[in-house]
Chains A and B, each alone.
Chain A
Amino acid sequence: MRRLWTAAAVVVAAVALSASAVNAAGETIGSCIFEELEGAQFEGIEGNGFTAVKELKTRYKADDDHAGELIEEFESDLEGCLEAPNPIFPERTEIIWGGLAFVILLALMYWKLFPPVKNLMEQRTQRIQDAIDDADRQRAEAVEVKANYEAELADAKTEAARIVDEAREQAATVRADLQARAEADIAEMRERAAADVEASKRQAIADLQSEVSDIALGAAEAVIGRSLEDPEMQRQLIDDYIARVGADQG
């Protein structure tokens, strides 16, 4: 339905267009001649061109030279209907009206109309430019702030790494100290224990030798049933025995 209306509107507009273009064609030759005839006035003859032409011809046929001149003059007037002015020559009234319109418009434009429009456009351009500049400035500031933050962050990271490294070094030193001390303690304790063991061993051997010699003496006495008269000899015998036993065991 909408398309139908549009089509109808286009047709009506186009008909109006074509019709008015035909009407816009100006006056016709016929109407020009008609107007000339209607408006013509001749000296000494009553009526307009429609009636006077006949009278003029009658007079001309009766050898009236003046009538002949009038006829020739009127004919050239009528021919004017065929000859329109050369279209390339400007019409004075059109120059005046068109020129007046242009000059008034030019004056109005310079004086009242153009400056406010242009100013407004420039203001807008300036405002947009300011906004862009402002945005640029803020962005630069933000970039700077970001760079500062990043630098601070990098510093902090370095510091943290340094602290961690330091702690790690300290821990390693402490551990090494403790380890060295522990190892020294252990070595000392081991030496001491070894010395104790050696002393105990010697003591035990000495104790054992004494006890064994007593036992052996008793045993020998019991076995041989007699006591050796010479104690020095007895001791010698026993020590040899023990030494032999010790060598066998050792």
Chain B
Amino acid sequence: MNVFALDFPPVNHLFDWPSFLFADNEWVALNKTGLIYLVSLVLTAGLFWAAARRRSLVPTGTQTVVEAGVEFIENNIVMQTIGPDGRRFMPFLTTLFFFVLFSNMFEVIPFIQFPANSRMAIPLLLALVVWAVYHVVGIRAQGFFQYFKSALFPPGVPTFLYVLVVPIELLQIILIRPLSLAIRLWANMVAGHLLLVTFAVLSAALWGTLYVPAVLPFAMLILLTAFEIFVSALQAFIFTILTAVYIGGSLHPEH
């Protein structure tokens, strides 16, 4: 795409990566996105392994980071949304948080600079996992009929309004929750990547022709890089806390 003498790559080509391993196999062809997920797995597992190995009473280094993360998830997510009985979901929520966080963070890692969650695959998969988890938890905690009754018939609503409320609630727990979860993460990462690429391309093009004005988009690029670090962490937090909220709602419908 050529706009004002700036050669901007087609948007699709910013996200669609060619496979570099098993390229001919339509099931296991590995591209940059898949590789980032594998690296996120290794990073999260490595961090926890290092923290578990040290087992020092007074934490330092990696152990501090991991424990701060776990404590953050416990105090600011689980205890705030589910309560003490939500502690059994800690491994699940911690995995979710760190996995999403690392795969987002590659958005700003030099020479990689691609948020894996700007591809719909994993946001959608994780949203479906969350969807299954909160339904199963709700049905196990309350029983099948009671779960759907408490989910679809919120108390305190005038009877005639149930005509409106029930279909909306049904749509919400079946469709809107997982889709909004997936799309929120995916769209934020897409937007962030587009912003960074736009200012990077602009800086590079202006540097190649006019030199001095390139400073402005370049400054913007640096600012946006910092902002995207924040967004990456924020989206991981939002994904995890919403998961906890949904699980909490299934466990304690009275809240």
State in angstroms the CA–CA spacing of A14 and B28 once bound together: 35
Tell me the residues in window 25-78 of chain A with beta carbons closer than 8 Å to chain B beta carbons.
25-29
Contact of B27 among A26, A83, A92, A112 (CB under 8 A): A92
Cβ-defined partner of A93 (8 Å) among B34, B114, B124: B34
When C-beta atoms are compared, the residue in chain A nearest to B205 turns out to be A22
Residues from 99 to 126 in A contacting B, C-beta threshold 8 Å: 99, 101-102, 104-106, 108-110, 112-118, 120-121, 124
How far, in Å, is B41 (CB) from chain A's closest CB?
4
A22 to chain B, nearest CB (A): 5
Q: State which of B146-154, B195-203, B230-238, B243-251 sits at the interface with chain A.
A: B195-203
**CB within 8 Å: A-B pair count:** 196
Indicate if the CB atoms of B200 and A96 lie closer than 8 Å: no
Residue picked from A29, A87, A117, most chain B C-beta under 10 Å: A117
Q: Which of B18, B91, B222 contacts A114 (CB 8 A)?
A: B91
A-side interface residues, number (CB < 8 Å): 52
Q: Are A105 and B45 also in contact (CB < 8 A) when A22-B200, A26-B9, A93-B34 are?
A: yes
B61 part of interface (Cβ distance < 8 Å): no
Q: Check if B225 is an interface residue, CB within 8 A of chain A.
A: yes
Closest chain B CB from A132 CB (angstroms): 16
Asked if A117 and B70 sit within 8 Å, CB to CB, the answer is yes
Q: B124 to chain A: closest CB distance in Å?
A: 5
A28 touches B13 (CB 8 A): yes
- B116 proximal to A (CB < 8 A): yes
- Whose C-beta in chain A lies nearest to the C-beta of B225? A17
Of B48-56, B137-145, B164-172, the segment with at least 4 beta carbons within 8 Å of chain A is: B48-56
- Residue A210 is within 8 A (CB to CB) of chain B in the complex: no
Q: A87-B15, A98-B121 are in contact. Are A18 and B200 (CB under 8 A)?
A: yes
Q: Inside 8 A of A115's CB, which chain B residues have their CB?
A: 91
A138 vs chain B, min Cβ distance (A): 22
**CA A120 to CA B52, docked complex, whole Å:** 8
Interface residues of A (CB under 8 A from B): 13-14, 16-29, 82-85, 87-99, 101-102, 104-106, 108-110, 112-118, 120-121, 124, 127
Some 25 contacts from A to B, beta carbons below 8 A apart, are A17-B108, A18-B218, A25-B13, A26-B14, A87-B16, A88-B120, A91-B120, A93-B26, A93-B29, A94-B37, A95-B121, A96-B28, A98-B125, A101-B38, A102-B122, A102-B125, A102-B129, A105-B40, A105-B41, A106-B91, A108-B45, A113-B45, A115-B91, A117-B52, A120-B55
